[in-house]
Amino acid sequence: MAQSLDAVFIGAGHNALACALHLASKGWKVGVFEQAPVAGGAIKTGEYTLPGFRHDWAAMNLSLFAGSPFFKAHGAELQRHGLEFVPVSRPFASSFADGSWAGVSTDMSETTGSLAAHSAADAARWQDLIAGFSAEAPHLFGLLSSRMNLYALAYFMFKTIRAKGLGGTLDLGRFLLESPRSWLERTFEHPKTRALLAAWGMHLDFAPDISGGALFPYLEGMAGQAFGMAIGRGGADTITRALVAAIRARGGIVECGAAVSRIDHSGGKASGITLADGRRIGAARAVIAGVAPRALPRLTGGITPGFDRAMAEYRHAPGTMMVHLATQSLPNWRADRRLQDYAYVHLAPSLDQMARTYAQAQAGLLPDEPVIVVGQPTAIDPTRAPAGQHVIWLQVRMAPGHIAGDAAGQISATDWALAAAPFADRALDIVETHAPGFRAGILAQRIVSPAELEAENPNLVGGDQVCGSHHLAQNFLFRPVRSHADGSTPIRNLFLTGAAVWPGAGTGAGSGFLLARHLAGK
């Protein structure tokens, strides 16, 4: 006899787990089925280089989770199950090739001091922006945490017009449509201030000239100054382990190594799932798929031609290569040893270089100068490595999912199995120019190519860690497709969740929590 639950989940990413926990807290019987050996999706931690060195597989920054409505509702419960954050007072900085740098710290004098070294006007402008952030934050965070349908959007507009007036609301609308370059060039005068903030757009598929991207450099800069950053003690998987434990404590099921072969439905209504081992799990109230859109038609056998076509045409962002390093020490940054205190150091020298890198990756080329995010978690959380040693987390952005060639004309391989090592060497050479002697201190490394990211987690199509472009045509009401930004599908009781559903990528569990509240009625 088939097992029967109220809700079944395909995939154990953090959005699915958050949704499952909220529903379980409302009395639903839930089951989560994950094909991988461990839960968490892109939020997991392991000893990928040497014993005792704990590396975050993909996501490291947990600030969005720590500040999320979901954590506000369930944080105390998760902390009872072992969730623990480490606060970061120096969240991010940029190192430049000429030996200079700039960084954002929760200490205003530190931040403005690093900016004033390049431009006194930019330091003053930064203070003005921070002074106005408390007035802007409710509108921006309110939008990002709202359900995305016409009623919710109209209500958001009504509240915003009441608070800001028509002129202020139009200014906000213009800002939401702006590219990073447009906003940064009209706001700051120095190219390095602009580059410091523009690097955040590259985390979310927003190269400098992409409309709709100004929001992310602004929010990351302001939030970094106001709140710092949060990482997980011992690894980002602290949230995954706590979510799984909390679900199980409420009687829910979380089963790994359990691939789903199909979604069962008839008469336009989903009724459960069938696992690859032949078991059928019934779902009386909801089947929730935490999968990339193009995987949904394969699981359903087809829904409607129009919807299936939209799922197949869903666009993914360029990929990312991860390089995990076990090291003897932190990088000896040439610009300033104080850079060792920052969670992230971006190596992204200019708006033009970021735009070129993005264009090369979009054309299928290995960029000649990729953007590099150097994560230094053991500077803040030494529990992740043996005493006196460190883990370094490198994101190499952007990288093509399928290689057509090399922009530098040096790497002939067009298969990631052969191209990964020389491309990683290119990234490490860039780090070496900013921190001479760094490579000599590497004890072990693990290169994870875009192809391996996708093979390990099919949601990361082409190594796309944000599960889909956030450009305007695929965001807000159109994420993942018009009329279904709430995760609904044309099949009753079948829903999508995850980064492909509004509000998109990040660790904030937004799509999972919004869906859970909708299904539970609160």
**pLDDT, tens digit, 9 for 90 and up, residues 169-202:** 888 888 999 999 999 999 999 999 999 999 999 9
| Complete edge-to-edge strand list for the sheet that includes strand 92-95 | 101-104, 92-95, 344-347, 371-375, 390-399, 319-327, 442-448
Question: pTM of this prediction?
Answer: 0.95
Burial of 343 (C-beta count, 10 Å sphere; 0-12/13-18/19+): buried
Burial of 84 (C-beta count, 10 Å sphere; 0-12/13-18/19+): middle
pLDDT at position 1, please? Answer: 41
All residues at 6 or more sequence positions from 429 whose CB lies less than 8 Å from its CB, including other chains: none
pLDDT at position 186, please? Answer: 96
Per-chain mean pLDDT for the chain: 96
Q: How far is CA 55 from CA 277, 390, 462, in A?
A: 32, 10, 22
All residues at 6 or more sequence positions from 147 whose CB lies less than 8 Å from its CB, including other chains: 486, 514, 518
How far apart CA 470 and CA 312 sit, in angstroms, is 16
All residues at 6 or more sequence positions from 249 whose CB lies less than 8 Å from its CB, including other chains: 81
Could you give the domains of the chain?
3-46+63-86+235-315+468-520 (3.50.50.60), 106-218 (no CATH), 318-456 (3.90.660)
User: Which regions in the chain score pLDDT beneath 70?
Assistant: 1-2
AA letter at 76: A
Q: In this structure, are strands 280-289 and 494-496 parallel, antiparallel, or unpaired?
A: parallel
Q: Is the dihedral of CA 117, 119, 120, 122 positive or negative?
A: negative
324 close to 56: Cβ distance less than 8 angstroms: no
Q: Is the dihedral of CA 315, 317, 318, 319 positive or negative?
A: negative
Could you give the dihedral angle defined by the CA atoms of residues 385, 388, 391 and 394, in that order, rounded to the nearest 10 degrees? Answer: 170
**Alpha carbon 279 to chain centroid, angstroms:** 33
Q: By three-state DSSP, how is residue 29 classified? A: coil
All residues at 6 or more sequence positions from 132 whose CB lies less than 8 Å from its CB, including other chains: none
pLDDT at position 153, please? Answer: 80
Residue 40 φ/ψ, nearest 5 degrees: 120, -20
How far apart CA 283 and CA 493 sit, in angstroms, is 9
